[in-house]
Amino acid sequence: MGARRRATPTYIPACHSDQAQVIAVFAEVGELLRRYYDNRMQRRIEIDRSGISVIEDGAGPPLLVLHDELGDARWRSWHAELARDRRIIMPLLPGFGVSPQIEWISSVRDLACLVARMLREMKLDRLDLIGFSFGGWLAAEMAANSPASFGRIMLVAPFGIRPRAGEICDLFLMSTPEYMRASVKYEASAAELADSRAPEQIEEARVEAGRLAWSPYMHNPSLPHLLKGLGTRMMVLWGEDDAIIPPGTAQQYREIGPQVEVATIADCGHHPEVETPEKFVALARKFLTTDR
């Protein structure tokens, strides 16, 4: 059998507008953000004349949350539960549908360094971290770069490590709705995953994921080596019916060291936080609040 052909992603060129149009666009985006995130605290962190929008809510020790490859950062029931005793900090990653693309970022490692700089600008250190899918890969890169910056790290069905058995689903061999349907076990969960975002916003995120992680596709061959010996406590969580990344990939994270816990949730796919939010919250809260 020949090698599987991967479709080439279509890149959307940047739009050029005069100053009045730019101001109007930002005003419209701001209004959409206020409605979409239910008036939660939002701020814009400026880095080298580029802005990253950040959503914050809750009180307590800071918890950084990194969204998936389709820019899914909607405030859900699990956010609200964790925000009861944690200050959730959720950056809307540049190029993923809200914050503008930053052209000099050309890899996931570049993006990891940008988020680390954002944390320095916010004067945050030694915080806990949860990353979902693409955001899980981003979290792992950040941990490899600066393990002392984090207390506990939870990776939920992360990209980043190539599976030894099976392969990573190619999101460019299907439409965005098909990919969302493949990401969950039940169709009703796919509708929840899509929520109320504009199709153009989701497509922009998909294109940016391809730009940053096209070759090698959705993994970094050096990441398993860079993570070995990492002293930071880590949990890797997977849905048992994940059709995007083989669930058996979770066992490869055990090789990082004894501080890594692996957990699975039955009867769900790539997004346990959407399909089984109560079980996800219980596991996350236990991991984030107890010592071994």
Q: How far apart are CA 188 and CA 9, in angstroms?
A: 28
Task: Let me know: does 281 contact 82? Beta carbons within 8 Å.
Answer: yes
φ, ψ for residue 38, nearest 5 deg? 55, 40
Q: How far apart are CA 264 and CA 87, in angstroms?
A: 26
Q: Is 233 helix (H, G, I), strand (E, B) or coil?
A: strand
The CATH label, of 3.40.50.1820, 3.40.630.10, 2.60.120.10, 3.30.70.360, for the domain at 40-289 is 3.40.50.1820
pLDDT tens string, the chain, 292 residues long: the values are 444 445 444 433 343 444 445 334 444 544 454 444 455 688 999 998 888 999 999 999 999 999 999 999 889 999 999 999 999 999 999 999 889 999 999 999 999 999 999 999 999 999 999 999 999 999 999 999 999 999 999 999 999 999 999 999 999 999 999 999 999 999 888 888 877 678 888 999 999 999 999 999 999 999 999 999 888 999 999 999 999 999 999 999 999 999 999 999 999 999 999 999 999 999 999 999 987 6
Closest listed residue to residue 129, CA positions, set 58, 55, 64, 56:
64
The structural domains of the chain, with segments of one domain joined by +, span 40-289
- Whole-model pTM: value is 0.87
| CA 88 distance to own-chain centroid | 14
pLDDT at position 190: 82
